[in-house]
Amino acid sequence: MRSIVLTKGVPDFSEGAVSFDEDGHLERGKTPTVMNPNDKFAVQAALQTRVRHGGHVSGMSMGPPGYADVLKEAMETVYTDDNYLLSDRELAASDTWATAITLCAGLETYQEEVGDIDIVFAGFKSADGETGQTGPQTAWAMDWPIVTHVLALDIDPDERVLRAKRLVEGDIDEIETVEVPLPCFVVTDPEFEPTYRKASHRLTHKQLRAETEERAADHEEHLTTWNHEDLNLDPDYIGLDGSPTIVSSVDPIPKAPSEREATMIDPGDEDEMSEMLEEMQPYATGAGD
């Protein structure tokens, strides 16, 4: 089982040290960064999967070099084996779409260079942007099924399916159980709580913690940074220039169907990219299904 956990940093509002530039854009470099609180549920889900089924967990984040600290935090709290930072000046101030595309490129680069991914875990929404769309958009871009609002999950590695209990929000909250084939995306709900009811799982957990203490001490050794060239991304379509979103309101998360035909897009191909961005526009402005 190989999982990726997507995490991002958010400005540490608690410190009251948030800094904006003249145009009202957040100056990430000048604001202390911590792990997005909602990503903690995602990383816990990744850890639970690792403890129960073994395998490898990598952390991935897109952001300025300072996000290495966020990945370090992921290593310390959920014992990621290694971390990948997608970082480049060209990637600064991306909106969720550009971020999704970059992350998608990161995941594909990972598959090429490191290994096939079974599950990508993402947080609910970030504490700063509050869009909650990066996960679904990245899944959409990867054309993998996605399960959102996950409260509990169970994986059958032999059948290569993931069963999840998810919260269906409504007048009365309901819990439904869904089954998706691997590879897939999982977006955890803040109510997600990992459970370790088997002694062997707790022993594994303890073992991982001990191993991680050593690893986290020289965290840099386990960090790979990829820039837009490594990711084969065109700067025109990423970063601020490639961010089409004008945030008006934030609405339901588009739910990707479990089965869908994949359309591969070369991020270097200008036409293909514009076409794709056009297609995505309605979702991004909150008119999704």
**By CB under 8 A, residue 200 contacts other proteins:** yes
Q: How far is the CB of 154 from other proteins (least distance, A)?
A: 7
Is the Cβ–Cβ distance between 2 and 59 less than 8 Å?
no
The residues near 276 (Cβ < 8 Å, ≥ 6 apart) are 265
Q: State the nearest-atom distance from the C-beta of 202 to other proteins, in Å.
A: 5
Q: Which residues are CB-contacts of 86 (< 8 A; sequence separation ≥ 6)?
A: 60, 61, 62, 63, 102, 103, 105, 106, 225, 226, 227, 231
To the nearest whole angstrom, how small is the minimum distance from the Cβ of residue 179 to other proteins? 16
Only segment of 16-24, 91-99, 108-116, 203-211 that touches other proteins (CB under 8 A): 203-211
Binding mask 135-154 for other proteins (x = CB under 8 A): -------------------x
- Specify the stretch interacting with other proteins by CB under 8 A; choose among 17-25, 66-74, 82-90, 195-203: 195-203
Binding residues with other proteins: total (CB under 8 A): 9
* Tally of CB atoms within 10 A around 96: 24
Query: Which of residues 89, 160, 202, 260 is near other proteins by CB under 8 A?
Result: 202
Q: How far is the CB of 198 from other proteins (least distance, A)?
A: 6
Query: Does the footprint of other proteins cover residue 197 (CB under 8 A)?
Result: yes
Written in H, E and C, the secondary structure of 212-264 is: HHHHHHCHHHHEEEECCCCCCCCHHHCCHHHCCCCCCCCCCCCCCCCCCCCCC
| Bond preceding residue 157 cis, omega within 30 of 0 | no
Interface segment toward other proteins; rule CB under 8 A; list 80-88, 201-209, 239-247, 275-283: 201-209
Rounded Cα distance, 101 and 241, in Å = 13
Sites of contact with other proteins (CB under 8 A): 154, 197-200, 202-203, 206-207
